[in-house]
């Protein structure tokens, strides 16, 4: 499966995916990295791995509706099957050929550092999320991997993993622990998608067994 990874910053998630692909632990080809900034550190990870890169600055476009086609036209040119957002902080509208349908998984996924729908929405990324968790007094946070639609942090949820919040946590210490969960969750979901094991019905996502059968949990529900 050919994927494009969208970044805006240091690219730690991208580096993790590159390393897993190199070790034959992730059955995808990273065919393109798109950055919203020419200064993003993650571009160096891509270049070191010989992955084509492209910079698409939001400020070069008058509107989101102009910015979106600039991003996705590059994906179509590379015949990308799945767009993987990895710290991409700009809003980009998802076109019809990449969007979720009522019973069709979308072709854009994102990872968010909380248990959505809590602590999501416009402007909620990075340290802001973890500080909001602490300010609220939450005892559990976590990671959410979801399909992307045209609302912030709103698309159907594929996977969630809880992470405890400790009494002595700072935003930085909590961010570090959540990121360790991200390093496991995102590749696991990408493997499932690459193996055609993710199905969507309305907003509900289920994981099917290899070969297309239902999981034990689905079978138990009848």
Task: Quote the longest CA-to-CA distance of the chain.
Answer: 52
Residue with tokens 């005892």: 139
Is 136 one of the annotated active-site residues of the chain? no
CA angle, residues 23, 24, 30, in degrees to nearest 5: 95
Catalytic residue chosen out of the listed positions 112, 130, 136, 154: 112
Give the C-alpha separation, 23 to 25, whole Å.
5
Nearest residue to 108 via CA among 162, 51, 68: 68
Within 13 A of 94's CA, how many CA atoms are on the CB side?
23
Give the C-alpha separation, 114 to 174, whole Å.
11
The encoded tokens of residue 61 equal: 């476009």
By annotation, the residues acting in catalysis are 112
């Amino acid at each position: 499966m050919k994927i494009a990874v969208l970044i805006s910053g240091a690219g730690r998630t991208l580096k993790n995916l590159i390393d897993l692909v190199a070790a034959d632990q992730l059955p995808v080809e990273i065919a393109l990295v798109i950055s919203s900034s020419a200064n993003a550190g993650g571009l160096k990870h891509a270049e070191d791995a010989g992955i084509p890169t492209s910079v698409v600055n939001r400020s070069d476009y008058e509107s989101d509706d102009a910015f979106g086609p600039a991003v996705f036209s590059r994906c179509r040119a590379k015949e990308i099957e799945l767009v993987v957002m990895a710290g991409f902080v700009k809003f980009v509208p998802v076109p019809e050929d990449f969007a979720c349908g009522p019973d069709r998984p979308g072709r854009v996924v994102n990872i968010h550092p909380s248990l959505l729908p809590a602590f999501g929405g416009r402007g909620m990324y990075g340290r802001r999320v973890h500080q909001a968790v602490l300010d609220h007094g939450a005892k559990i946070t976590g990671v959410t991997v979801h399909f992307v639609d045209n609302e912030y942090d709103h698309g159907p949820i594929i996977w969630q993993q809880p992470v405890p919040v400790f009494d002595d946590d700072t935003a930085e210490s909590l961010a570090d622990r959540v990121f360790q969960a991200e390093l496991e969750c995102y590749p696991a979901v990408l493997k499932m998608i690459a193996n055609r094991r993710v199905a969507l019905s309305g907003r509900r996502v289920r994981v099917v067994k290899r070969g297309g059968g239902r999981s034990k949990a689905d079978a138990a529900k009848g």
